[in-house]
Amino acid sequence: MAQQQARGAFIVFEGADRAGKSTQCQMLVEHLQAQGVAAELWRFPDRTTPIGKMINSYLTSQSDIDDAAVHLLFSANRWEKREELLRKLHEGTTLVVDRYAYSGVAFTAAKGLPGLDRAWCMAPDAGLPAPDAVFFLCLTVEQAAARGGYGEERYEKDEFQRKVLDQFHAMRGSSWRVVDASQSIDAIQQQLREQAAAVVARCQRGTSPVGKLWEGAQAGAGAPLSEINQ
Ligand code: DGP
């Protein structure tokens, strides 16, 4: 069997709004860098690109975009970063990514609109690079609300967040590591560092090529799209 090259790890953080993803991502990247691991923090949506600017305008309610169309924009925002993402991984840089296609599926499927079921939501992201691990920061809507409630953006409402959480849980696959986000920041970070170290080491050994969404056990425990529908 041909020897794979050592590469960076692709680690995605997911969770509902206010679970602490951004704080934990930042801390993890700083920790990895301090350990001598080349690491970068990315986030989706990337609001800096032309597509990302349209998404930002939608999220901040400056514009209304059809639900199917905006779903495709979020996905396009990931596709437009695909080449750079793969290049970085193959150059040996570990990417810690704040949200990815799982948010894409969860937030649109949670709308419960006719025709936009989970299978439809998953289709545009099929073939994107699959993360080596998904760190899911698990927090109930009540716990999130106790942190000071949600902000002003379009999706930041209790009832909707509850539906988003249900969608996330339905997508949990074998690459997911669920972390109780109600613990202290340091306790959560400690667990994430241990998990990340194992993933980074595996990718450095060069035995694990970058997978593709939604192949294998990346989502829905590997169930075919037809079985994940709804
Ligand atoms: P953030 O910048 O992480 O706070 O995300 C902004 C909001 O956009 C947040 O409510 C989650 C939502 N979101 C993130 N990714 C997607 C996506 O791919 N599709 C949809 N519909 N919403 C998303």
d(CA 50, CA 214): 26
pLDDT digits (tens), the chain, 230 positions: 556 789 999 999 999 889 999 999 999 999 999 999 999 999 999 999 999 999 999 999 999 999 999 999 999 999 999 999 999 999 999 999 999 999 999 999 999 999 999 999 999 999 999 999 999 999 999 999 888 867 889 998 999 999 999 999 999 999 999 999 999 999 999 999 999 999 999 999 998 999 999 997 544 433 333 333 32
Beta strand segments in the chain, E: 10-14, 39-43, 94-98, 129-130, 133-138, 176-180, 211-212
Residue at 6 is within a domain? no
Neighbours of 202 (CB within 10 A): 14
Residue with CA at minimum distance from ligand 1 atom 5: 45
pLDDT of residue 146: 87
Neighbours of 145 (CB within 10 A): 14
Residue at 85 is within a domain? yes
Kindly state the tokens that stand for 169: 């849980």
The residue range of the domain holding 216 is 13-227
Based on its alpha-carbon atoms, the radius of gyration of the chain, rounded to whole angstroms, reads 17
Residue 46 belongs to domain with CATH number: 3.40.50.300
Residue type, 12: V
Residue with CA at minimum distance from ligand 1 atom 22: 107
Residue-by-residue DSSP string for 43-108: ESS-TTSHHHHHHHHHHTTSS---HHHHHHHHHHHHHTTHHHHHHHHHHT-EEEEE--HHHHHHHH
Residue at 102 is within a domain? yes
d(CA 6, CA 19): 32
Number of domains in the chain: 1
Q: Which of 97, 99, 108 to mutate to test the pocket of ligand 1 (most atoms within 8 A of CB)?
A: 99
Residue at 94 is within a domain? yes
**DSSP reduced 3-state for 144:** helix
Beta-bridged to residue 137, according to DSSP, are 179
CB distance 161 to ligand 1 below 6 Å? no
Residue with CA at minimum distance from ligand 1 atom 2: 45
Residue at 7 is within a domain? no
Residue at 111 is within a domain? yes
Rounded distance from Cα 59 to ligand 1 centre (Å)? 8
Residue at 3 is within a domain? no
Beta-bridged to residue 94, according to DSSP, are 39
pTM of the complete model:
0.94
